[in-house]
């Protein structure tokens, strides 16, 4: 067995307040070397606090984090040399150029001038930033700024990379471009822990996912494993003008239906399509002012809804 790249055990963090907040309520996680691991959860779940402890920025109340076997709380300086971090907010030096942001990062990590300049040139090419080398960081679009932050995070060749909501707020095109770059890093063998509240991001990028909510990991596995847990191959979402318990009971009694979840605007029916799922559902729902119907396979969001009764996005 290879040692874990990251081992989080019994991690708790409370903030005194007022009001007192339990940001982490006992998190256990293992990230294997070379994998992209996604921490998927809604706002306030504890994603940034988890990353904060792993990257030595936040002190835990209890529990331990070991990175390549090194205790993060005991040896923060050694850990910092081994990790790259992209925080949730832009931390580029706004008054420096793209080139300088990368170059000075290498210098800060003890590289000589020639090596730092060489590495910067390499990164500008890898992240398709060469034509922006002389641009001031403050003039960059959100997508470009994230690319520079990602390039800077790996500049000193860390063994592990932490990406806290790397594509939050980006337009779809920039998001896709960043996904490609992150997938490229994986191919280079760097271990990645990324946090996100986009289920599609976790699904597309990660080898394994942990779903986190209220400071607790609810479930861990590959996206396929987690979706399998739903125990249904088809989700039918019904938008209805009215809703009552009788309808829920009637749907639940249909043989191909496994479960029915009641949401704010309608129902989610979990079922198996091979048994002719849709016609009896439509028949039951029509008298209730069926406004819309959507059919999809289980997603990580479905898994989250099943575990918490809530949706990922507020």
Ligand X SMILES: Nc1ncnc2c1ncn2[C@@H]1O[C@H](COP(=O)(O)OP(=O)(O)OP(=O)(O)O)[C@@H](O)[C@H]1O
Cβ within 8 Å of residue 36, ≥6 positions away: 182, 186, 191, 192, 194, 205, 206, 207
43 binds, among Mg ion, ligand X, none (CB under 5 to 8 A by kind): ligand X
Spell out a b/e string for 277-309, using b for 16 or more CB atoms within 10 Å of the CB, else e: beebbeebbeebebeebeeeebbbbbbbbbeee
Residue 124 CB, shortest distance to ligand X, in Å, is 30
Q: How many residues interact with ligand X (rule CB under 6 A)? A: 13
Nearer to ligand X (CB atom), residue 88 or residue 239: 88
Least spacing, CB of residue 167 vs ligand X, in Å: 13
| Shortest reach from residue 86's CB to Mg ion, in Å | 12
Cα dihedral 219, 223, 225, 230, rounded to 10, equals 70
89 lies in the binding site for ligand X (CB under 6 A): no
Rounded distance between C-alpha atoms, residue 68 and residue 291, angstroms:
54
Query: Which residues of this protein are in contact with Mg ion, per CB under 5 A?
Result: 47-48, 88
Strand partners, 295: 236
Select 27 or 124, whichever has its Cβ closest to ligand X: 27
Q: What is the largest CA-CA distance in the chain?
A: 74
Nearest approach in angstroms of CB 48 to Mg ion is: 3
Structure token digits, residue 207: 């080898």
Q: Which is nearer to ligand X, 45 or 267 (CB)?
A: 45
- Contacts (CB under 6 A) with ligand X, residues 188-207: 197
- Residue 191 class from Cβ within 10 Å (0-12 exposed, 13-18 middle, 19+ buried)? buried
Site string (1-40) toward ligand X, x via CB under 6 A: --------------x-----x-x-----------------
- Which listed residue (5, 36, 47, 60) binds ligand X by CB under 6 A? 47
Residue 197 interface partner, choices Mg ion, ligand X, none, CB cut-off 5-8 Å depending on type: ligand X
Compute the half-sphere exposure of residue 242: CA atoms within 13 Å on the CB side of its CA: 10
Of the candidates 2, 43, 131, 274, which one interacts with ligand X according to CB under 6 A? 43
Q: Is 49 in the site for ligand X (CB under 6 A)?
A: yes
Instruction: Point out which span in 47-55, 155-163, 202-210, 253-261 binds ligand X (CB under 6 A).
Output: 47-55
Can residue 48 be called a binding residue for ligand X (CB under 6 A)?
A: yes
Question: What are the residue ranges of helices labelled H in the chain?
Answer: 47-54, 76-82, 98-108, 113-126, 142-154, 172-187, 199-205, 223-229, 245-252, 278-285, 300-308
Contact (Cβ atoms closer than 8 angstroms) between residue 164 and residue 176: no
Residue 218 CB, shortest distance to ligand X, in Å, is 13
Considering only residues 96 through 135, tell me which ones interact with ligand X, judged by CB under 6 A.
Answer: none
- For binding to ligand X (CB under 6 A), which residues are involved? 15, 21, 23, 41, 43-49, 88, 197
């Amino acid at each position: 067995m290879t040692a874990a790249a990251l081992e989080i055990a019994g991690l708790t963090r409370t903030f005194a307040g007022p009001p007192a907040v339990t940001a982490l309520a006992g998190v256990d996680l293992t990230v294997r070397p070379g994998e992209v691991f996604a921490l998927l959860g809604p706002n306030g779940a504890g994603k940034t606090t988890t990353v904060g402890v792993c990257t030595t920025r936040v002190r835990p109340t209890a529990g331990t984090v070991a990175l390549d076997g090194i205790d993060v709380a005991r040896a923060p300086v050694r850990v910092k040399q081994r990790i790259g971090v992209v925080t949730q907010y832009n931390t580029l030096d706004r008054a420096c150029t793209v080139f300088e942001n990368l170059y000075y990062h290498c210098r800060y990590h003890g590289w000589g001038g020639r090596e730092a300049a060489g590495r910067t040139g390499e990164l500008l090419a890898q992240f398709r930033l060469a034509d922006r080398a002389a641009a001031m960081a403050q003039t960059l679009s959100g997508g470009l700024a994230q690319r520079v932050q990602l390039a800077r995070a790996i500049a000193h060749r860390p063994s592990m990379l932490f990406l806290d909501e790397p594509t939050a707020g980006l337009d779809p095109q920039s998001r896709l471009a960043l996904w490609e770059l992150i997938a490229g890093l994986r191919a280079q063998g760097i271990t990645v822990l990324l946090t996100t509240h986009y289920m599609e991001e976790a699904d597309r990028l990660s080898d394994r996912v942990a779903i986190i909510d209220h400071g607790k990991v609810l479930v861990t596995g590959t996206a396929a494993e987690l979706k399998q847990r739903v125990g249904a191959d088809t989700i039918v979402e019904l938008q209805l003008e009215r809703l009552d318990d009788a309808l829920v009971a009637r749907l639940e009694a249909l043989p191909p239906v496994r479960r029915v979840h009641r949401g704010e605007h309608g129902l989610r029916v979990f079922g198996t399509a091979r048994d002719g799922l849709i016609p009896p559902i439509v028949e039951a729902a029509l008298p209730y002012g069926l406004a819309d119907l959507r059919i999809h396979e289980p997603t990580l969001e479905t898994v989250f809804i099943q575990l918490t009764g809530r949706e990922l996005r507020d």
